Amino acid sequence: MQLPNIYTHKNLKWLVLVPVVLMVISIYLASTHLVLDSSLAGGVSITMQSNSIKPTSQIAGEVSSALHVPSPSIQRSSGTIVITIATNQSLSDAYQYLLQVYSYDSKYNTYIVNETATQQALTSAPGNQTLLAQLAAEQNGINESTAGISTSLAGELAALAPFGANQSFNRQDVGQMVTTAQNSYTAAGTVYESQVINKLHSVLPFTSYSYQQITVQQSQYFLSQLRYIIIVAFILVSIIVFFIFRTLVPSFAVIFGAANDMIIALGAMAVLQIPLGIASIGGLLMLMGYSIDTDVLTSIRIIKRHEGSPEDRAYSSMRTGLTMTLTAIVSFAVLFVVSLVAYIPTYYEISGVVLFGLIGDIATTWLGNASIILLYMKRKEKIRGS
């Protein structure tokens, strides 16, 4: 089947609008519906030794029903099964309150030290108004910190009520309140672990297990590091691309193509509820590499070669590029379906990201990137002619 040469169209700007519209829609979807997996949102990971022959999808359904958690991640390998579930909301809320207790306690101790120093200074200058005002401010800080610890502890204990946390404490004894906050959270975590393990044992008999909790703070650190990796990757790619073309427009077109492919992939992930995690981040980086390769080769062929017209070179590149992209789409579609049926979360996330990113790459590269380069070439020729 002979594809028409779309690049002979007079208004190439209309072609560029297609990937731009897809980008806007995908940004909205990703910002409102994208979900994070437990590695980035926090959760609990249980590694078990089990000889169960249940299908992975069945285990996932039974675990979800028993623990009342959505979409548990199940991975298995030669007798080892790793189950990852989302963070218990009550424990997560309690942990935030515990951090507030620690923060107020740190301020309290600072105020106590400063109060002691100010009182010693007042023994040498009993009527010093500056020291008296400072002492009053420190005592006020002590009272505010004590009240903050009390309020935060009350919030923590309320969150831990489902785990039988004792609700009584002395609101004037800071040391006792901090100890209560620490011990209550630890005890609740132990209770929750027992509940999880007992329910898992009824679903999936196992001989031994290890239990690991990923806190929200840890997951936020992982997320910030992944953002850093992507930003650094884009910066390095931008430098290399600019070094190749030495002009702004082609360099922008290539970077736009890579960024838009990733954004479209994120939008598709939001629609299909493919979680964003370490595996899918790897898929996004793979997608970026593929997009950069396609866009750079296309731009070089249009700009630096001279056989035929720029439109003909763009059309020839499109036919070759579509063949490559469609082949990759078929390969990742097969992997996506297999991982969905067999319930292999890692492959499902990677293949889903790359698959829908490649579909978006068709519009981004051949409607967006190639059209931008052709508009750049026409403008350049017009300037030379004048």
Number of structural domains (the chain) is 2
What CATH number corresponds to the domain at position 29? 1.20.1640.10
Q: Is 10 in the same domain as 23?
A: yes
Write down the pLDDT at residue 1. Answer: 56
pTM of the model: 0.70
Q: Is 71 in the same domain as 209?
A: yes
Provide the CA 114 distance to its chain's centre, in angstroms: 42
Query: Residue 190 domain-assigned?
Result: yes
Query: Residue 115 domain-assigned?
Result: yes
Q: Give tens-digit pLDDT for 149-160.
A: 999 999 999 999
Burial category of 231 from C-beta neighbours within 10 Å (exposed 0-12, middle 13-18, buried 19 and up):
exposed
Q: Which residues of the chain are under the pLDDT cut of 50?
A: none
Query: Residue 1 domain-assigned?
Result: no
Kindly write down the DSSP assignment for every residue of 115-158, as one continuous string.
HHHHHHHHHHSTT-HHHHHHHHHHHHHHHHHHHHHHHHHHHHHH
* Of the residues 214, 240, 258, the one at which a domain ends: 214
Query: Residue 179 domain-assigned?
Result: yes
Give which of 371, 224, 211, 214 is closest to 302, Cα–Cα. Answer: 371
Write down the pLDDT at residue 234. Answer: 83
Q: Is 180 in the same domain as 224?
A: no
The domain in which residue 139 lies consists of 43-214
Q: Is 194 in the same domain as 315?
A: no
Quote the CA–CA distance of 326 and 42 in Å, as a whole number.
37
Write down the pLDDT at residue 203. Answer: 86
